[in-house]
Amino acid sequence: MSRRVMLIYTGGTLGMVRDEQSGALISFALDDVEQKLPELKALGYHLDAVTPFNPIDSSQTEPHHWQSIAQSISEHYNNYDGFVVLHGTDTMAYTASALSYMLDGLAKPVILTGSQLPLGIPRTDARENLTTAIELAGATDSNGHPRVPEVCIYFDYRLFRGNRASKFDSDKFQAFQSPNYPALVEVGTVIRFQDRYIRPVDGPLFKLRKGIDPGVAGIRLFPGMAKSVVTPLLESADNRVLLMETFGMGNAPTHSWLLDALRHYINSGRTVVSVTQCRGGYVDMGRYHSSTALREMGVVSGRDMTFEAAITKIMWLLGNDYTGFELEKSINKDLKGELTEV
């Protein structure tokens, strides 16, 4: 029996070809994907395609787009062995992270991929990225179980856990990296599955939990940051959580106005979370004196989460009615492989 894989097209460079007459880039019909990529026939998979919303540039992605993708997967979950989401690269890591929380009990591959160049362009990376993503979405072990039953990003011969990856380069084919967690699969002349790093099936039953509340603000600390810029954000009633990108292992300026503002924010019943600005590594508040005050006032450590994984996790927790201590505990807890617990 052939494996069944569903393609979910949301937009992005991969789903575009150059019009022969005008020379402009236009979307191609995914129903014709096997004509564009005849090598797919050799896989022997049954492919179907769906477009959950009008295709967009991924820089325009909003939480309701994540919910639409998750809803499409949920509606077709029992009829397919795996899913491939075609997505623009700019916000792919945000979407992958959000889906990892929404698709509770996931037991099948959900692989996001895209490209830096469209199909039909010389040297395009679209052909390999899409072909291998589809192959991985349908890959099984000797017992017929999916090899990678989690949300992933496939790009440039490597498969990463989706909530561990970040876009690293806007120009090179190696657009994504996962500095704090190894690749799940490395592709060369053979496909090498790194089974010890692949997350096992996530619970007994699949359940869609697509609640999202965008009541979170983000701020990146930098030298010379002005009080007049920061305090309005902390005084705003529109956010319940502040995600703060701190220096190094969670360090921050010790200006009294900043510490007082953060302390007042926390004392008002809201939450501050710290993640590192560094591409790799983790937050360990108290390691240095400049983070001691943050730890003492109750800033929550995001450990080694990426910014994308942290902010979508917070939105998902808020959207599923996590509050107070339960919210803070869950932020610091590994839910879907997004952080390393101590």
* Cα-Cα end-to-end distance for the chain: 44
- pLDDT over 90 for what percent of the chain? 82
- 306 assigned to some structural domain: yes
pLDDT in tens, 142-165: 999 999 999 999 999 999 999 999
**Pair 221, 196 in one domain:** no
Quick one: tokens of 105?
A: 């009990």
pLDDT, position 241: 97
* Cα angle value 284/333/304 (rounded, 5°): 40
**Pair 31, 110 in one domain:** yes
**Pair 179, 39 in one domain:** yes
Where a domain ends, among 164, 184, 208?
A: 208
**Pair 257, 182 in one domain:** no
CATH value at residue 89: 3.40.50.1170
The beta-strand segments (E) located in the chain are: 4-9, 16-18, 25-27, 46-50, 82-86, 103-104, 110-113, 151-155, 158-161, 166-167, 176-177, 185-187, 191-193, 207-208, 216-220, 241-246, 271-276, 300-301
Average pLDDT over residues 31-38: 72
- 182 assigned to some structural domain: yes
Where a domain ends, among 208, 230, 262?
A: 208
Q: Which of 56-65, 119-128, 260-269 has the lowest mean pLDDT?
A: 119-128
**Pair 99, 159 in one domain:** yes
Dist. CA 50–CA 2, nearest whole Å: 19
**Pair 82, 190 in one domain:** yes
User: What is the tally of structural domains in the chain?
Assistant: 2
**Pair 113, 174 in one domain:** yes
> Is this model's pTM higher than 0.85 or not?
yes
**Pair 136, 223 in one domain:** no
Give residue 91's domain range.
4-208
Where a domain ends, among 188, 208, 228?
A: 208
Dist. CA 196–CA 334, nearest whole Å: 17
**Pair 86, 68 in one domain:** yes
CATH value at residue 284: 3.40.50.40
- 336 assigned to some structural domain: no
Q: Which is the catalytic residue, given 13, 61, 95, 246?
A: 13
Report whether 146 contacts 82 (CB < 8 A). Answer: yes
**Is 13 noted as a catalytic residue in this protein?**
yes
**Pair 108, 224 in one domain:** no
pLDDT in tens, 293-321: 999 999 999 999 999 999 999 999 999 99
- 170 assigned to some structural domain: yes
**Secondary structure (DSSP) of 8-49:** EE--SGGGEEE-TTT--EEE--GGGHHHH-GGGGGGT-EEEE
Provide the mean pLDDT of the chain: 93
- 342 assigned to some structural domain: no
**Pair 162, 228 in one domain:** no
- 339 assigned to some structural domain: no
pLDDT in tens, 6-30: 999 999 887 776 666 776 666 666 6
**Pair 48, 146 in one domain:** yes
